[in-house]
Structure 1
Amino acid sequence: MKTPPVVSPSEWDAAWRQLLVKEKELTRARDALAADRRRMPWLAVEKEYGFDGPAGRVSLLDLFEGRRQLIVYRAFFEPGVCGWPDHACRGCSLVADQVAHVAHLNVRDTTLVFASRAPQPDIERVKARMGWTMPWFTMTDDFDADFGVDEWHGTNAFIRDGDRVFRTYFINNRGDEAMGSTWSYLDITALGRQEEWEDSPEGYPRTPAYEWWNWHDEYGAAVQG
């Protein structure tokens, strides 16, 4: 292993400041990309989709839990997938291990769910074993094929206008590596983080940064669907 040189504190600081310029460029580019996502056209979802959940049969609209936005991660946990029946696939499990507390998404009017083809008893068993708490539903129709996640994992973002549902963004492959944090999820949604500093279209919801942040157990009724 050929390691970098060992330098003095002043030399290290100079190298760090030089790299920081590129770090800031990356941050601004990421913000600009998120702004472009907020301007993506919407695709109307015309078909009806059904899912099995802990409380029974639900629709795609039901998955929103009354909130305006929905993020669906297609996790591979089902017969024929490595790990079955004791585990979901290794990659999807790694994603699940990184998911932040969903209350921070909920207070931004956004619901996150996982979806697989495993029956609900198997999903609940694996969630309990792994300590996962995100909502996790069973696909029962063509949802995975229609939204590009029948052969590979991926994350779809949706928004609703009343009872009408629209697909607003999709990310998969290495794009899913970044998923898990509150910010990475909000940055792929149509409304974004909903903070004043963002470059968003006129009329989009905005609040000051920090003002809405809270401990996840103190949002109260704001996180209820």
Structure 2
Amino acid sequence: MTLPQVVSPEEWQVARDELLVKEKELTRAQDALNAERRSLPMTAIDKEYVFDGPRGQVTLLDLFEGRRQLIVYHFMMAPGSKHRCPGCSMVADNIGHLAHLHARDTTLVLVSPAPLSEIEPFRKRMGWTVPWFSAYGNDFTQDGGVGDGFGVSVFLRDGERVYRTYFTTNRGGDQLVGTLRYLDLTPLGRQEEWEQPAGRGSSGPGHWWRLHDEYDS
């Protein structure tokens, strides 16, 4: 494994300051991209969807819990499948206290096409408290362009009308995983083979992910 070059504290500070200039450029570029995302047009959701939750059946409008914005993480869990997605589970593990989102008039929920009877045992096993709803029997997952995978949909409520404003999947989901953000700060990074400098990782993207109770201690 190749390791970083050893230099004096003064040389390290010079290199750090040079990188800081690029980090600030990236921050400004990210701010500009976020502004473009907020300026995207939106499309009305006129179809009725009914979800199963811990307190019974609810509509898409109900998922907002009276707030203005709704973020839905489409958690990969197919009806009858024994597979429990480690990637989606890492996303769920990285969800912080929801009070911070609620303070900005925003609700976050998980939605899966599996029935609630399959969702609830896994939620309890993982110790998650984030609201998780079943889309079993409706077209919400397919209509959202998720297919058999995962994704993130964002909705805005204007009175009783609901609009979809954003969707992302694949590497777009990285932005939700604080674990990856922390690893990106380290010299060994995520220890995946695609990363540079080469030679510090051997696994494919996400191949090392496990359910949090399945890592070899």
Taking structure 1 as the reference length, the TM-score comes to 0.75
Which residue, 106, 109, 124 being the options, matches 1:110?
A: 106
Shift of 1:122: 2.6
The runs of 5 or more residues in structure 1 that have no matched partner are: 185-225
- Check whether the contact 2:79–2:115 (CA below 8 A) recurs between aligned residues: no
Q: Match of 2:67, SS?
A: coil
Shift of 1:90: 1.2
Shift in CA distance, 79/146, structure 1 to aligned 2, threshold 3 Å: closer
Aligned-partner Cα distance in 2 for 1:132–1:21: 39
Please give the residue correspondences for 1:103-182 in structure 2 after superposition, counting only pairs within 5 Å: 103-139=99-135, 140-180=137-177
- Check whether the contact 1:75–1:88 (CA below 8 A) recurs between aligned residues: no
Aligned-partner Cα distance in 2 for 1:117–1:145: 9
Aligned to 2:42: 42
Shift of 1:2: 2.3
Please give the residue correspondences for 1:1-225 in structure 2 after superposition, counting only pairs within 5 Å: 1-79=1-79, 81=81, 84=82, 88-139=84-135, 140-180=137-177
Aligned-partner Cα distance in 2 for 1:59–1:152: 22
Query: Which contiguous aligned blocks of 4+ residues in structure 1 show a shift greater than 6 angstroms?
Result: none
**1:26-55 deviation line (CA, Å, top 9, x unaligned):** 111111111111111111111111111111
**1:58-101 deviation line (CA, Å, top 9, x unaligned):** 110010000000000110123464xx2xx621111111111111
Percent identity (aligned): 58
- Check whether the contact 2:80–2:114 (CA below 8 A) recurs between aligned residues: no
Shift of 1:4: 2.4
Aligned-partner Cα distance in 1 for 2:58–2:79: 22
Q: How many aligned positions are there? A: 178
The runs of 5 or more residues in structure 2 that have no matched partner are: 182-217
- Check whether the contact 2:76–2:148 (CA below 8 A) recurs between aligned residues: no
Taking structure 2 as the reference length, the TM-score comes to 0.78
